[in-house]
Amino acid sequence: MTRRRLGRSDLMFEPLVFGGNVFGWTLDESAAFAVLDAFLDAGFTAIDTADVYGKGKSEIIVGNWMKARGNRDRVLVFTKLGSEMAPGEKGLSARYMVEAVEKSLRRLATDRIDLYQSHRPDPETPQDETLEAYDRLVKAGKVRFIGASNFSAGQHAEAARISAARHLVRYESEQPEYNLYVRDRFEGPLQNFCVEHEIGVIPYFSLAAGFLTGKYRSEADFGKSPRGARMGRYLDAKGTAILAAMDQVSQETGASLAEIALAWLNAQPGVTAPIASATSVAQLQSLIKGARLELSKPQLDALTAAGK
């Protein structure tokens, strides 16, 4: 299994990031420990969470797991800030960032965050202020590298200009919504910018909230999980065409649809590793197979064409 580098940083990890949004929501602490144990045992190391997931519960579970297992030095911890935690607690101002990082460090039971990410742009705070604050956090040893999520190509270009001009740390990653169904939020200017400037890409909603597992084929399937209510936006002519193409590749490879969705993402220019979550060890084993699956060019082309 080939490890991949995140941007120009020295963060090297396998082509799958575990999504911690399920911790404290559809996965309680004991079940989370079992899945995380299996993830690490399989040779994977990167875990992505955010302060807002479960209003801190996700970070607490990750921190409790690392403390219980004594494995902090084997794990890469990615977390995010900026989304509203409580009234007055949001954004990317220097003042708030100082508070937010300390709270995340306490919840994670660690002295440093490997990748600290802006969860979304903050229109009320100049990027200069945010990047200067990040630079101080890196110099203080609280953060190793920084990344962004939901940024446009233009916002990344502005950030890169500021970082270069002021000799500040730069965003090493972008976390966009990107999968076989949702393509326009990344492909085009943003993808081109990330490739050209060596910004790592770790897409979220890699399985389109579960639609690309093939579990939701009609409205009757929407009650299969808490995420079923979201499936209506995918179950259209485009979604049906994608599932049909995935079914064909599944017949040819023996791989599940979730595995095919991850393999397609890992083959796209600029992508470092997709983010995906599992609520059981069995689900995790399928994700791991997907991270290691290589599809042929005709298969990749067929999948790409289906989602146009």
Q: Which two tokens stand for residue 255?
A: 């791989």
Residue with tokens 């990615």: 78
Please state the φ and ψ torsions of residue 257, each to the nearest 5 degrees.
-65, -35
Q: Is 282 helix (H, G, I), strand (E, B) or coil?
A: helix
How large is the angle between the packed helices 153-166 and 127-139, nearest 10 degrees? Answer: 60
Q: How far apart are CA 134 and CA 205, in angstroms?
A: 26
Q: How far apart are CA 196 and CA 209, in angstroms?
A: 29
Q: How far apart are CA 304 and CA 160, in angstroms?
A: 30
| 173 CB-near residues (< 8 Å, 6+ apart) | 6, 7, 115, 117, 145, 147, 148, 199, 200, 201, 202, 272
* Catalytic status, residue 53: yes
Q: What are the residues facing 48 on neighbouring strands?
A: 19, 78
Which one of 53, 116, 204, 216 is the catalytic residue?
A: 53
For the beta carbon of residue 41, count every other beta carbon within 10 angstroms.
9
| 108 CB-near residues (< 8 Å, 6+ apart) | 59, 60, 62, 63, 66, 77, 79
- Give me the long-range contacts of 236-241 (CB less than 8 A, separation at least 24): 238/181, 238/307, 239/181, 239/211, 241/306, 241/307
Q: Which two tokens stand for residue 72?
A: 């902090």
- Residue 91: exposure state from Cβ atoms within 10 A (0-12, 13-18, ≥19): buried
Q: Which residues are catalytic?
A: 53
